[in-house]
Amino acid sequence: MTNEIRNSIGALTDKDLQPVIKCDSVYKIFGDNIERMIRKSDGNIDVQAFQDAGCIFGVNNASFEVRKGELLVVMGLSGSGKSTLLRCISRLTATTAGKIFIDGEDLLAMNNKELIELRRNKMGMVFQSFALLPHKTVLENIAFPLQVKGGNTQNSIKRAASMIELVGLGGRENYFPRQLSGGQQQRVGIARSLAVEPDIWFLDEPFSALDPLIRKEMQDEFLRLQGLLNKTILFVTHDFDEALRLADRIAIMKDGIIEQIDTPANIVLNPSTEYVAKFTNDVPREKVLNCENVMEEIGDASDLSEFRVSKDAIIATVAEAVLNEPKPVAVVDDNNETIGVLNSKTIIHTLFGTNGVEPVDIVQTADE
């Protein structure tokens, strides 16, 4: 960002521009004699040498940043390293090499006391297993981390009650976990993690144990909460559709390596590897791409339809209307200024084209 742009955004400070999470060449290697091999290599990780020694890479040279308020989804199949990466960033698992910074502070240099304070005051975590205390009510489960933190009992109960309302469990304050459905139990887990008002939210497959209908409801609830709270989130999933639905950006992992990290639209439009492309082949692009992603340059501005669409509108929501227009349709920005156009050809290609492949004209011969 240039100084001119920075000065024009007076509300932004250096801290606002600084990434909340920064990973620099992070490795997690499993095997015997890892420390000795690291010392012998003088810190330079020779992947082949480690693999030849029987080592397994849980995370292999991961470097990325997460900005304030961003929702980064780390997606991959079982064994890809996605959960290992999250555990390294939360320091639940020790890294083998690399640097991790939280709000500019060196996470790996923190002592136990500093780490405890960081987790208590800045980090919230939700995992696949609900881990609720069976002998405590909903209210008591949510208040529990506040009391462990040393909070006043009355204030803790008041805060827990407000979290119950936030996640839509009003009236169930005195229920025990066994009296709740799976979706309701996960709502309690989410409320408990939010009760301590974390700046950073780690979620590891939080909805994977739920049936499809409840899972969809929880995704809706999660997006609603993020719209209200604007947390910095690292969300792990094996479900590509879930990643597309939730993410600002997606990091796709395979064998500990981040294959691609980009916006959902760019991953669908421009997969960087064959592995990533396999996930995108069956994606209904019209439900992922917005008008700005596929619009064309403005030609003759005087020959446009009176109908207009927002740059942020998802193609599936405007496709029929654009196809019914005889003239190109203007795509407008937040100031209602025309920034591009859509026409029937663009919509048809988005609906029926394939990634990186132009439609083929079929020419009939006389023999046909």
Degrees to nearest 5, angle at CA 358 with 356 and 362: 150
Which range scores top for mean pLDDT: 221-230, 309-318, 357-366? 309-318
Q: Are 200 and 102 in contact (CB under 8 A)?
A: yes
Q: Which helix (H) or strand (E) holds 23?
A: strand 21-30
Q: Compute the chain's Rg from CA coordinates.
A: 24
Average pLDDT over residues 78-104: 95
Which range scores top for mean pLDDT: 36-45, 151-160, 258-267, 342-351? 258-267
| CATH fourth-level superfamily of 17-122+198-280 | P-loop containing nucleotide triphosphate hydrolases (3.40.50.300)
Q: Residue 8: which pLDDT band, with cuts at 50, 70 and 90?
A: very low
- 121, 64, 69: which is closest to 88 by C-alpha? 64
Neighbour-count burial for 56-83, b at 16+ CB within 10 Å, e otherwise:
ebbbbbbebebbbebbbbbbbeeebbbb
Q: Start-end ranges of CATH 3.40.50.300 in the chain? A: 17-122+198-280
Q: Are 60 and 83 in contact (CB under 8 A)?
A: no
Query: Which class is domain 286-352?
Result: alpha beta
Q: Which two tokens stand for residue 305?
A: 């339809």
Q: Which two tokens stand for residue 21?
A: 């999470």
DSSP-assigned letters across all residues of 163-208: HHHHTT-TT-TT--GGGS-HHHHHHHHHHHHHHT--SEEEEESTTT
Q: Using one digit for the tens of pLDDT, what is the confidence trace for 264-316?
A: 999 998 999 999 999 988 888 888 899 999 999 987 777 899 999 999 999 99
Q: Is the pLDDT of residue 117 over 70?
A: yes
Q: Are 167 and 187 in contact (CB under 8 A)?
A: yes
Q: Using one digit for the tens of pLDDT, what is the confidence trace for 121-178?
A: 899 888 877 789 999 999 999 999 888 877 788 889 999 999 999 888 899 999 999 9
- Rounded Cα distance between 289 and 269, Å, is 9
